[in-house]
Amino acid sequence: MAHAARRHFLISGFTLVEVLVALAILAIALAAVLRAMGQAIDLSTDLRERTLALWVAEERATEYQLKRDWPGLDTKEGTMEFGGREWRWRDRISSTPLAELRRVDIEIRTPNSPDVLAHLAVFLRQP
């Protein structure tokens, strides 16, 4: 008789509590996976935006190098379109210990954000 009871227990399957515990564990695991995927997508988007901002800064630096003029000590601001988007730039031109060099600090932001996405420092030699 004990053998029949054990056989009945093995055939009967999972209890309702066991099924609910398994579903709870599965739900927690899936939620963790979805959260990790969401964070990866956010990180990828942020990295793309910062990369484009750095390219905008390099574009500004190239403009200074190609113009070959001697910029005055000043802060300039403006916007430009790059990569199908509008970007705000701020150039701070300052002196250096060497009289024939000027430092240009270029900051890039999106139009509606105070956060600097890229910063590039360039040194220009007096022509």
For 4, residues 6+ apart whose C-beta sits below 8 A from its C-beta are none
Question: 3-class DSSP state for residue 92?
Answer: strand
Q: Which domains does the chain possess? A: 2-125 (3.30.1300.30)
Would you state the pLDDT for residue 118?
96
pLDDT attached to residue 16: 87
Give the residues of the chain that fall short of pLDDT 50.
1
For residue 6, the model assigns a pLDDT of 55
Dmax over CA atoms of the chain, in Å, equals 104
